[in-house]
């Protein structure tokens, strides 16, 4: 973390001074409506803003609560302990914690040197970052987005141990910098930076902490599909993960809503669309490249997904050399 950012975050805030002077609890009126335990974005965001950043309040336990916005916590120095939906999460320096609206959170008291920032983000802010991730609806991307939106029985939070990933650290610092300083075009800059951060995190899903062994196994299955969609098999995957074939197949379906074959097919066809948009490969070469040696079968599946033939798709879609597969 840059020294100049830490110097802005280290001083005791008026709220923290009240606690050091003897107050024993947070001032709930700063965060919530009377009688509620939902932290209200209206109390933290200026009118018209979609995102802001504020230092985490130290020296006090923050009682269990929920939010009406997406919260992203970045640990600048030290560490903090969070209880999220009943699970303990230790957030260390350089790590990120994404909390979906509705996730229940308690935070144990932080010390003077435990410096964290909270990004308060309305869901509509993510429209532009998600578009930057491209149209390819990969199984892994959807799984992460569903976790963030608390769909499909997901935990409602994402914990990334990315302290030693320089691109992620640089992007988070850039977000903090532009929010602390009133830069021109701040909203656009922040949305583009968040989009780049999402792309980096998708490249580092091996740093995503899963405390449920079943959820970890499904995440490994999705990573396996990303890398082995051409020639992998569920049986090989089960042997690698030491999983029972039938029960693991059911678990994949329960967590993702699709069976293994459907997930592989989805990835293959998404990659085929990417290659048609970004290369001059023949349609037959594209089919072979993504794992189909039966051209009739490939054409039928492609048309079912895109409602066009591969040739029609190539002619109708603009070339996108900067797209991400």
Instruction: Grade residue 240 by pLDDT with cuts at 50, 70 and 90.
Output: very high
Give the tokens for residue 82.
């969070």
Top-confidence range, 43-47, 101-105, 131-135, 259-263: 259-263
The contacts of residue 164 (CB under 8 Å, 6+ apart) are: 94
pLDDT, greater one: 75 or 132: 75
pTM of the model: 0.81
Tokens of 55: 């230092």
Q: Residue 166 has which token pair?
A: 């320089």
Highest mean pLDDT among 122-136, 200-214, 238-252: 238-252
Q: Name the average pLDDT for the chain.
A: 89
The whole-number average pLDDT for the span 193-216 is 86
The mean pLDDT of 227-254, rounded to a whole number, is 95
**CA atoms within 13 A of residue 204's CA, in its CB half-sphere:** 22
pLDDT at 316 over 80: yes
Tens-digit pLDDT profile for residues 24-81: 999 999 999 998 999 999 999 988 889 999 999 999 999 999 999 999 999 999 999 9
**Phi/psi of residue 176, each to 5°?**
-60, -45
**Pair of tokens at residue 296:** 């009739």
Integer Cα distance of 308 and 293 in angstroms: 20
Q: How far apart are CA 92 and CA 75, in angstroms?
A: 6
Q: Span 128-138, mean pLDDT? A: 70
pLDDT bucket at 208, cuts 50 / 70 / 90: confident
Select the more confidently predicted residue: 188 or 233: 233
pLDDT one-digit tens code per residue, 242-301: 999 999 999 999 888 899 999 999 999 999 999 999 999 999 999 999 999 999 999 999
Q: How much is the pLDDT for 256? A: 85
What confidence tier does 147 reach under pLDDT thresholds 50, 70, 90? Answer: low
- Cα 269 to Cα 135: distance, rounded to the nearest angstrom: 12
Q: Say if residues 200 and 76 touch (Cβ distance below 8 Å).
A: no
Using the Cα atoms of residue 264, residue 269, residue 272 and residue 278 in order, give the sign of their dihedral.
negative
201 contact partners, CB below 8 Å, separation of at least 6? 96, 144, 160, 162, 168, 208
With contact defined as beta carbons under 8 Å apart, do 183 and 212 qualify? no
Between CA 147 and CA 70 the distance in angstroms is 12
Q: Phi/psi of residue 87, each to 5°?
A: -105, 135
CA angle 131, 162, 213 (to 5 degrees): 90
Write out pLDDT tens, residues 157-181.
889 999 999 999 999 999 999 888 8
Q: According to the model, what pLDDT value does residue 40 have?
A: 94
Give pLDDT, residue 140.
60
**How far is CA 71 from its chain centroid?**
11
């Amino acid at each position: 973390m840059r020294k100049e950012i830490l110097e802005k975050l280290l001083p005791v805030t008026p709220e923290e001074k009240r606690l050091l002077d003897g107050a024993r609890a947070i001032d709930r009126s700063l965060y919530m409506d009377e009688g509620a335990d939902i932290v209200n974005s209206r109390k933290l965001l200026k009118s018209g803003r979609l995102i802001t950043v504020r230092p985490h309040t130290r020296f006090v336990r923050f009682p269990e609560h929920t939010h009406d916005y997406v919260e992203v916590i970045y640990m600048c120095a030290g560490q903090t302990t969070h209880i999220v939906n009943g699970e303990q999460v230790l957030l260390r320096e350089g790590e990120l914690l994404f909390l979906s609206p509705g996730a229940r959170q308690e935070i144990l008291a932080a010390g003077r040197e435990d410096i964290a920032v909270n990004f308060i983000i309305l869901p509509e802010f993510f429209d532009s970052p998600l578009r930057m991730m491209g149209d390819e609806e990969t199984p892994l991307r959807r799984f992460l987005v569903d976790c963030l939106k608390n769909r499909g029985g997901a935990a409602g939070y994402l914990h990334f141990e990315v302290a030693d990933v320089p691109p992620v650290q640089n992007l988070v610092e850039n977000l903090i910098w532009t929010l602390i300083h009133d830069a021109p075009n701040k909203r656009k800059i922040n949305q583009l930076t968040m989009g780049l951060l999402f792309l980096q995190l998708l490249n580092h899903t091996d740093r995503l902490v899963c405390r449920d062994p079943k959820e970890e196994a499904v995440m490994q299955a999705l990573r396996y599909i990303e890398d082995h969609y051409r020639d992998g098999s569920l049986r090989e995957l089960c042997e690698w993960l030491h999983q029972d074939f039938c029960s693991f197949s059911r678990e994949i379906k329960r967590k993702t809503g699709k069976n293994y074959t459907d997930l592989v097919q989805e990835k293959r066809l998404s990659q085929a669309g990417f290659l048609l948009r970004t290369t001059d490969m023949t349609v037959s070469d594209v089919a072979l490249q993504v794992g189909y040696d039966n051209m009739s079968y490939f054409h039928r599946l492609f048309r079912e997904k895109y409602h066009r033939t591969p040739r029609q798709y190539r002619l109708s879609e603009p070339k996108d050399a900067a797209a991400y597969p």
